[in-house]
Amino acid sequence: MSIDGATTPDVRAEMLKGAQSLATPAPPSNARGITSDLSVDEALLLHAAGWEPLDLVCGVAVVSVPVGVWNWGRGAISLASDAHDAAVDQAARQLRGECSKVHGHGVVGVRVEVAVRTHHIDVELVGTAVRPMDGKDPRGADAAQAMPFVSDLSARDFTLLQRAGWIPVGLAFGASFVYAPRRTAGAAMKQTTQNVELTNYTQAMYSARESAMEKMQRSALQVGGQGVVEVKVTEGPMSFARHAVGFTAWGTAVRLMADAHQFVRPEVVLPLDDAVVTFEAESLRGGGGGRRR
Amino acid sequence: MRGEPGSGAGATTGGGAASDLPEAAVRRLESTAFSSGLTVPDFAACLDMGLQPVALVQGFCVMQWGWYGPGSGYMRGMSPYSGGEQTPGAYSEIYRCPHGYVSNEHRMWGQNLEQPWVEGAWAQGYGAAYSRMLEEAGTHGAHGVIGVVDRVSNVADTGTTEFHFLGTAVTVEGGPPPAGGVPWSTYLAGQRLTKSIEAGFMPVAVVAALASVRVWAYCMTEYYMEGTMGWGVPGEPRLVEQVSKAHMAVRQLARKHVRQQLAGDELHGATIDVVTRELSQGDEVVDCTLRGNRVRRFKDFDQVVLPRPTVRLA
Amino acid sequence: MTEQTAQSEPQPPQSATGGGAHDLPKDAAHRLEELEHGLFTSDLSVNEFLLVKEAGFHPLGFVMGSSIYHIGIQTRKWGESQELAKLTEAMYTARELAMNRMEEEAEELGADGVVGVRLDVNYYEWGNDSAEFIAFGTAVKAEDGTSYRNALGKPFTSDLSGQDFWTLMQTGHVPQALVMGTCVFHIAHRKLTQALGSMGQNVELPNFTQALYEARELAMTRMQDEAGRLNASGIVGVRLEEKSHQWGSHTIEFLALGTAVTKTSGEVTLPKPTTIISLDN
């Protein structure tokens, strides 16, 4: 999406004006300069939607994992999930605290970094605190005071959703960790030449995934969400304990604030760039895949 | 492009009178053809804005870490009792052990300590490289430097850090020379710079700061981070308060240092990088670098209309 | 060159638990129940979410199916190019199991279909010769109550993105199912004399060409057969993938994937596109 319509009449004139503004030393200012990690496009879109960025905010938490948790056992590793949830909760709380300090109504564009190590789980959240320029929060006056929303939606997606009548209410997060089940030696031998489903394994992995998703759903309900968008799922064995597998699912919980969903009615365009041609060839060879964002 | 950054490494010759630019730089800048680090679309956007590229400029500096190098008492993990002076105004937080006397190895006392000497040294190196780049631009009569690329890297195991800046010096057609004779600068170039100007933001400078916090772990932190059993360590997950606080503090400090350089202007396109070095026994050092473009509003926002959403048929 | 014509029709999937309707884990049941109470989840991006709404659908929930399958050893002749039928069957069955479970979850939610389906294969160190096959997607339902289930009465599946789904609906077609055909082929190793003979020359390798040609054709034919069984008008978004998985470089799986569609009685509502020249890099 490019910035709409007519380019400002004369960019040269603007540049000249800008340069001249620097030539005269600025009057001393008591303004608390804002810091933001938004790109210019995003800042402009936010303004078009009637919101403004306030400050770059962070939340970090390090939670210890009890000893021996990763030694091979059976079933779910609930202590690890608890540690993970505690870390995310605490980091989100810090983030909201920083947001409130600058009088923000919420944080957008949150970058989520989770590191699971042998003895501790670290969570870092970084985003930009924003507030509506006219002070009117679509969630209602009380909600705005109580709890700033946290969302990993980019400022651009935030603006789009707003226009459609939806607002983010919080980060929905869930994680589960599980041990790979063991096969007895006898069963292992018998299965060598057969193509067969390993039901123990399937059940264990499938359950663990579903459990992470379920926790994510529950956390969405807790912040009053009606839905979760942009769910991302990560999975994989722990680098320090390859018999333990972790699944996380997170996304942004949203709520419909308008009476009904506002349809966007997109316009269809056909770009004439040559870049289009290479995209098609690649998708046939399996390079582009079916998803396009 | 120029050769390896190491070739110009901090070696300053008698060269020009008051400046400390390497002699090769002076020669290169005296030639009349311009080179620039701009791509073709960026170059087109420049001309559109009335900016004329005049030269590719760079600045370079190598700093030695007296405190960090191998063999320094600092890196051997000496306790703060004997080394770290308490700088007034710097962040510091003390943690005391909840147990009674346990043993001689038991760490009864811990501290989170901001390291202003590290921060100052970094600022000095960064600042020196940056001002050398601006100086090169100034010798060509440039008004500003766009498309700045900055790189900070540690030369492995030698306890030194290189700071390297590269940018394209430009003049504004019909524009006044910059205040104080120091060219303005920005990371942006091309279309993104155009949009920033159209939105009413004039770049002033590239701004960055490092905050560094040292964690001297006390007993509880050590147990949590190292996974030691026993002695009142619970069998459930616990927030490691000392380390979490240190991480929060380092990010807050970086923002505070940058804000001091803004003088009321705004910071756009900020990026935060955090490096954690885990030492033994739960100790660690956390360094946070915050960089961005310092910009000044020179006009109010035009009414921006929300763009039309489109679906591409491709 | 042997051709396994007998195996050109893959057998219907046999799950070890006896397959059929209800082999979802307990946690899935809980999660889906929660979704039925009104919360929706989706891995659609905001763009896709808005376009799915434009097409007249609402997301119901993120659905998934998984199966860990042991892929047995199949002996092969070093010097012959042939399809490894047992492996083909295994790869197909494993994916079918995962897709079926995903469809079951969608059915539990009362969905009309699943969009944005992704098929992934994971390998774990502790699982020698086995791999986990996963299918993910977002279940959707038409807001006006019309049923969009496919010819077999099941929720449709498609790997189309939200954007492609909207565009497809505008052309008067609806997705039926994600169809796939697979073929695991072993490529003969060349004899030493053959290799030495052509060293340093620009020459076509007829063995390789023939083998790979056949393998691709097999995969695509099977995919088309599946679409035929659904009485589809055609297949869109066809993708041909080649993977060696864990078998080494002389054994390749060819996977053809696409979405089978049928024409509805609706007219084409896609508006005439505006041509633009994008100035972004």
CB contact under 8 Å between C163 and B191, yes or no, is no
Please enumerate in sequence order all residues whose Cβ is within 8 A of that of A119, keeping only pairs 6 or more positions apart, or say none: A64, A65, A67, B224, B225, B226, B227
Query: With an 8 Å Cβ cutoff, is A274 touching chain B?
Result: no
Q: Is residue A289 part of a domain?
A: no
Could you give the 3-state DSSP secondary structure of residue B270?
Answer: strand
- Based on the domain organization, do B100 and B179 belong to the same domain? no
Query: With an 8 Å Cβ cutoff, is A49 touching chain B?
Result: yes
- Based on the domain organization, do B267 and B146 belong to the same domain? no
CA closest to C280 among chain B residues:
B191
Query: With an 8 Å Cβ cutoff, is A160 touching chain B?
Result: yes
- Based on the domain organization, do B55 and B190 belong to the same domain? yes
B15: its two tokens: 């060269």
Residue range A236-259, pLDDT digits in tens: 778 778 788 889 999 999 999 877
DSSP string, B69-135: STT-TTTTT--TTTS----TTS-EEEEE-SS----TT---EEEEEE-HHHHHHHHHHHHHHHHHHHH
Please give the torsion angle defined by the CA atoms of residues C207, C212, C215 and C221, in that order, rounded to the nearest 10 degrees: -120
CB contact under 8 Å between B311 and C279, yes or no, is no
Q: Is residue B235 part of a domain?
A: yes
- Based on the domain organization, do B142 and B289 belong to the same domain? no
Option in C43, C51, C54 nearest A230 (CB): C43
Could you give the 3-state DSSP secondary structure of residue A282?
Answer: helix
Q: Is residue B224 part of a domain?
A: yes
Mean pLDDT of B66-75: 49
Query: With an 8 Å Cβ cutoff, is A284 touching chain B?
Result: no
pLDDT beneath 50: ranges in chain C? 1-21, 279-281
For residue B136, what are the domain limits?
34-61+122-199
User: Chains near C, with 3+ CB pairs < 8 A?
Assistant: A, B
Q: Angle, to 10 degrees, between the axis of helix C162-170 and the axis of helix C46-54? A: 20
* pLDDT at site C58: 92
- Based on the domain organization, do B132 and B108 belong to the same domain? no
Residue predicted with more confidence, A283 or C91: C91
Long-range (24+ apart) CB contacts under 8 A made by B226-231 are B226/A119, B226/B281, B226/B282, B227/A64, B227/A65, B227/A67, B227/A118, B227/A119, B228/A67, B229/A67, B229/A68, B231/B99, B231/B102
Q: What is the ipTM of this complex?
A: 0.80
Rounded Cα distance, C267 and C281, in Å: 36
Number of domains chain C contains? 1
Q: Which of residues 150-169 of C touch B (CB under 8 A)?
A: 163, 166-167
Q: Angle, to 10 degrees, between the axis of helix A11-23 and the axis of helix B190-198? A: 70
Q: Is residue B74 part of a domain?
A: no
- Report whether pLDDT(A150) > 70: yes
Residue from C66, C241, C247 whose CB has the most chain A CBs within 10 Å, to mutate: C66
What is the pLDDT of chain B when averaged over all its residues? 79
Residues of A in contact with C42 (CB under 8 A): 227-229, 231
Q: Is residue A7 part of a domain?
A: no
Q: Is residue A270 part of a domain?
A: no
Residue A15 has what DSSP assignment? H
Q: Is residue C150 part of a domain?
A: yes
CATH number of the domain enclosing B46: 3.30.110.70
- Based on the domain organization, do B215 and B179 belong to the same domain? no
Mean pLDDT of A144-153: 82
Residue predicted with more confidence, B214 or B12: B214
Give Dmax (Cα) for chain C. 70
- Based on the domain organization, do B165 and B48 belong to the same domain? yes
Q: Is residue A157 part of a domain?
A: yes
Mean pLDDT of B92-104: 81
Residue type, B80: P
- Based on the domain organization, do B147 and B264 belong to the same domain? no
CA distance C263 to chain A (A): 21
Query: With an 8 Å Cβ cutoff, is A289 touching chain B?
Result: no
- Based on the domain organization, do B139 and B283 belong to the same domain? no
- Based on the domain organization, do B146 and B252 belong to the same domain? no
Q: pLDDT band at B297, cuts 50/70/90?
A: confident
CATH number of the domain enclosing A90: 3.30.110.70
Residues of A in contact with B296 (CB under 8 A): 21-22, 26
Residue range A154-213, pLDDT digits in tens: 988 898 888 888 999 999 999 999 887 766 555 555 556 667 787 877 888 888 888 999
Q: What are residue A200's phi and psi, to 5 degrees?
A: -55, -50
User: Chains near A, with 3+ CB pairs < 8 A?
Assistant: B, C
- Based on the domain organization, do B233 and B255 belong to the same domain? yes
CATH number of the domain enclosing C239: 3.30.110.70
Option in A202, A226, A237 nearest C66 (CB): A202
Residues of A in contact with B144 (CB under 8 A): 19
Q: Is residue A4 part of a domain?
A: no
The alpha carbon of residue A172 and the mean position of all alpha carbons in its chain are separated, in whole angstroms, by 9
Query: With an 8 Å Cβ cutoff, is A279 touching chain B?
Result: yes
CB contact under 8 Å between B311 and C280, yes or no, is no
* pLDDT at site A271: 67
Q: Is residue C218 part of a domain?
A: yes
Please give the torsion angle defined by the CA atoms of residues C9, C15, C21 and C24, in that order, rounded to the nearest 10 degrees: -130
Mean pLDDT of B26-54: 74
Burial class (CB within 10 angstroms; exposed 0-12, middle 13-18, buried 19+) of B294? buried
Rounded Cα distance, B68 and B75, in Å: 6
For residue C255, what are the domain limits?
25-191+203-263
For residue A38, what are the domain limits?
34-182+196-263
Could you give the 3-state DSSP secondary structure of residue C243?
Answer: strand
Q: Is residue B51 part of a domain?
A: yes
Number of domains chain A contains? 1
Q: Is residue C12 part of a domain?
A: no
CA closest to A229 among chain C residues:
C42
Number of domains chain B contains? 2
Burial class (CB within 10 angstroms; exposed 0-12, middle 13-18, buried 19+) of C116? buried
Q: Is residue C2 part of a domain?
A: no
Q: Is residue A113 part of a domain?
A: yes
Q: pLDDT band at A4, cuts 50/70/90?
A: very low
Neighbours of A143 (CB within 10 A): 17
- Report whether pLDDT(B230) > 70: no
Query: With an 8 Å Cβ cutoff, is A14 touching chain C?
Result: no
CA closest to B224 among chain A residues:
A64
Q: Is residue B8 part of a domain?
A: no
Q: Is residue A65 part of a domain?
A: yes
* pLDDT at site A180: 79
Could you give the 3-state DSSP secondary structure of residue C227?
Answer: helix
Option in C51, C273, C280 nearest B313 (CB): C273
Out of B199, B228, B246, a domain closes at B199
- Based on the domain organization, do B173 and B248 belong to the same domain? no
Q: Is residue B12 part of a domain?
A: no
